[in-house]
Chains A and B, each alone.
Chain A
Amino acid sequence: MADAAALWISGSLAEKIRAHGAETYPHECCGALLGRDSSAVLESDGGKSALRPAREILQLFPLVNRRDDSPRNRFSVTAEDVLTAEKAAREQGLEVVGWYHSHPDHPARPSEYDRDHAWPWYSYIIVSVQNGAPQEMTSWRLNDDRAEFSPEGIEIRHRAAV
């Protein structure tokens, strides 16, 4: 896996993910994260500067959960939807860098099912929705060996990378 990168997202986009989770409750919501990777970002911490990789989310592409047989605890994005999201990203000079979904009445932690179906490299944002109200939001990346996810720090920024 690449070095642990920060996931930058604006407060309004983070709020849109939460709102999507609340809107589809008790079903799972899902959508694509459009953005880009910044290979290095100058960070200033107490006068010290450091280079750090960051991934910035600049737009969302909400999708319809295709799992109509079990939408409370499963979500599915078809290959056709993936191609549509990729096209939307390309048109804006971005790429699909990850996916978000909600966990109705469950914690914002990836399940075994999430891990089993995950792709590497993508960021997977999960928002927990308890009794219809969005709660904790986390982000994860699958490790190279597929054995587990690593948490990815979400940083709320007004404007992401340079």
Chain B
Amino acid sequence: MPVKVMIPSPLRPYAGKRDSAEFSARTVGEALGHLTTEFAELRKHLFTEEGKLRSFVNVYVNDEDIRYLAKENTPTKDGDTISIIPSIAGGCISFRHFERSEKSLLALCFGKRKRNLKE
């Protein structure tokens, strides 16, 4: 009996409208690999360009969050259910702008400190 991967509503349009898919897999990473090979459009929504799971993508094996197991190396056995659960985040300040602001602030503090050291 293979591993069952539950697909959340927002990703079903990219998975032939299916709510689950079954694969033979020894680890979570292998199962997600099979999933994104069969449904290639899913990849960019689940993984970053560097190939890491996006921070707001939560993966559970049965009821266990893989972050507290062995992440994508978490072993799976026949009959396990892997669930992809969204978490939702956002906010009014642009991340890039926020980063830039933080860097400017650090530069300002650091510059001032340097000046103070000279004094």
Contacts and interface: CB of A to CB of B under 8 A. Distances in A.
A147 to B, nearest CB: 10
A116 B87 CA distance: 13
Interface in A1-57: 2, 28, 30
Given A82-B85, A144-B41, A96 B91 contact: no
Q: Give chain B's interface residue range (CB within 8 Å of chain A).
A: 20 to 34
Contacts of A78: 87
Interface in B72-116: 85-98
Contacts of A75: 88-91
A120 B13 contact: yes
Q: Give chain A's interface residue range (CB within 8 Å of chain B).
A: 35 or more
Contact of A96 (B9, B14, B96): B9
B39 interface: no
Interface of A: 2, 28, 30, 67, 70, 73-79, 81-83, 95-97, 99, 101, 103-106, 110-114, 116-122, 124, 144-146
8 A-B pairs closest in CB distance: A74-B91, A103-B92, A106-B92, A112-B94, A77-B88, A121-B10, A113-B95, A114-B90
